[in-house]
Amino acid sequence: MTPKFENDLKRFYELLGERQRALGSYFSIVESEDCDKRIETLIDTFLTSIELSLIRENRVAALTRLINLRDEQMVQALEKEAKDEVFITQAKEKAYVWVKDFYLKCHNELIMQVQKEWLFSPFYRRLLRGVHEVGVVMSAWQSHWNEHIINTINPLLELEYNKDAQAIAEMLHVKGLMDPDPSGNDGDRSYSVLEKVEGGYIARAYATAFPKEVSQVRNTLQDLCDDLSEMDDPDLDQKEAYISYLKALNDAFGEEERSELIAKWAEVDRKWMKITSPIQIGHPLEYYEDHYKKAVALEWDVRVSNPEDKGAYVTYERILKMIIRLFDQNNLDATQIKEMMLFNLKRVQLYIGRPALFYAAEFNGLFSAQVVPNDETVSRELGKKIFAFSDNILDSLRDKPFLKINQEVLGKAFMDKERELIYHDAKTWHQVYEVTTIGHEFGHILWMDHDTEAKMNQSGVFKNIEEFKATTGGLVAFFMQEDESLKEAILRDTIKRSIGLIGWMKTGEVEPYYCEGLIHLTGLFQSGVLTFDQTLQIDLSPNAYEMLKEWYLKTYTELLEHYLAKADAKLFLERYARKEEGVYFPNELRVRSFVDYYWALHQRIGRDIDESVKRSDWL
């Protein structure tokens, strides 16, 4: 890396931080009379367009949609004002277009600033501009993708199969509608969509289902490849890696034969793994919203590493030691998987930074961290990349207004300790993030064979235990090599997050995280950390901590055995939660009682600002 590139990277990272903090300042319109009236107009114009009243709680919901890219508060606001399902679907699309237009302008301004300051070489300036041009096209495509899969096909499937995910999964298997992997078995994801025909459904590759959009993406990618091929990369010598990757993307988007889709996209991942630059491109990697056919989302972004960050090596070492200890303690007969896990962990490429440019599906939510690729065959060959965006998350936590529901449920003393961490002890906050969030991403890698997900997903709910497995892997690794100074902060974080996930009860695309929360809550109640009788009681004592730790060690051991057996994920999930009328609820009555209480409270005051404390007092 040349000195100029390093300095340019630092400046670019500063620009990203400034932009994020400027966005966070928008929340001032719900906290102060002395605010930027242009922002107020922006928010109120949007609320008027979806026929929501111009009250503070609805402004919080609109700001959350714009800045945090989450729509559950907006949906709850619409439900509270008696909007029907059709209206809400239309409002969600209006919100997507509003957010898309806002960020496309922001991203273009950022690229113009890079040009103005002559940051980076012509090669990287063209790369950033090219990603943006592809992103513009993909962001337009996202509306059609969402309308076809999420708003049309999936409701049809639910109607025909009475929302029975297992029956839908069986039909897709029997009819050969899942994309086959290179061995001819059902793949664990799809790059095709269903279409309704007389007598059932057919599946069509993205290239044939969305020919206009795919053609535009491919033409833009080709233009970018052509231009980059005429330039040099004197800073990192990654020219050939980027061009090979972009060409593989072009080929994969254009593939029309479903039998070749997973293989073509695996080749994209192979080329991508060879890019080790601090400027990383994110492509369609994961499925979120589509619970049935697992159609991969239209992810597209640039994420940039923090040039000052030295990595999360403490968590890495903890994870390695945990694997060896669990194998030794439980006499596990899975030497091949053990060796593969250890090998994969040693090859992890870790990128800690910020999202710089993001498009399409990511206007519906950015990740706090991510481990990819999901293709386990590619991962066996080349390992994985872990991305973590801790600086963005901390900025976001500092910018959000204080909500009444947190103090109502968790209490003032609990929230004061959390705020002390967020505003005045960034070092400890980052250490907690490393355990819980980066540990979560490392945790995804564990106990996985090349066919684990496909076999465990027989009932279509693999993701609904996988997120719990990931988080708990990070926690158990910490429990086995504790830092005394972090124990209470990690316990508080686990409590706060598990309770907060209840708010996602009816947000389908994040159902796996909601289910994860229900399992954590079961442990928190069974260990006595939480008790509930009209109000929540929280025990943060060393004894309660040890009881919870024991629960996690036992539960995680049972879970890894479930993974090694490649048993249906539903069997593990139903130990803790079952579906009632399309929504999961915890099996334990005391947990159910609290979940019902919190959900009702969340609907009633989930967007109300806490007037008893001012955020300005903590700044």
Distance CA 439, CA 430 (A): 12
Res 127: pLDDT: 98
Which residues pair with residue 301 across a beta bridge?
282, 358
Ramachandran assignment for 162, one of left (phi > 0), alpha (psi -120 to 50 degrees), beta (any other): left
Residue with tokens 């919190």: 598
For 19-34, write each residue's pLDDT tens digit. Answer: 999 999 999 999 877 7
For 382-427, write each residue's pLDDT tens digit. Answer: 999 999 999 999 999 999 999 999 999 999 999 999 999 999 999 9
Res 309: pLDDT: 79
Residue 334 has pLDDT above 80, yes or no: no
Q: Which residues contact 266 (CB under 8 A, 6 or more apart)?
A: 182, 373, 375, 377, 378
Res 344: pLDDT: 83
What's the pTM? 0.91
Q: Are 545 and 486 in contact (CB under 8 A)?
A: no
Distances (CA, A) of 257 to 159, 217, 251: 29, 18, 12
DSSP letter assigned to residue 434: I
Strands of the sheet with 299-305, listed across from one edge: 279-282, 299-305, 349-360, 385-388, 369-372
Q: Which residues contact 162 (CB under 8 A, 6 or more apart)?
A: none
Q: Which ranges in the chain are annotated with CATH 3.30.540? A: 134-305+349-383
For 44-62, write each residue's pLDDT tens digit. Answer: 999 999 999 999 999 999 9
Which residues pair with residue 305 across a beta bridge?
353
**Mean pLDDT estimate for the chain:** 94
Residue 311 has pLDDT above 80, yes or no: no
Q: Higher confidence at residue 367 or residue 419?
A: 419
Res 374: pLDDT: 85
Confidence of residue 291 (pLDDT cuts 50, 70, 90): confident
CA angle 278, 422, 489 (to 5 degrees): 100
Q: Are 134 and 220 in contact (CB under 8 A)?
A: yes
Residue-level length of the chain: 619
Q: Are 515 and 471 in contact (CB under 8 A)?
A: no
Q: Are 100 and 357 in contact (CB under 8 A)?
A: no
For 84-112, write each residue's pLDDT tens digit. Answer: 999 999 999 999 999 999 999 999 999 99
Q: Higher confidence at residue 268 or residue 316?
A: 268
Confidence of residue 479 (pLDDT cuts 50, 70, 90): very high
* The residue type at 328: D
> Once rounded to an integer, what is the mean pLDDT over residues 352-372?
94
Residue 454 has pLDDT above 90, yes or no: no
Q: Higher confidence at residue 487 or residue 335?
A: 487
Structure tokens at 103: 């960020």
The HSE-up count of residue 324 (CA atoms within 13 Å, CB side) is: 10
Distance CA 458, CA 455 (A): 6
Pick the CATH number of 134-305+349-383 from 3.30.540, 1.20.120, 3.40.50, 3.30.300: 3.30.540
Residue 451 has pLDDT above 90, yes or no: no
> Once rounded to an integer, what is the mean pLDDT over residues 577-595?
96
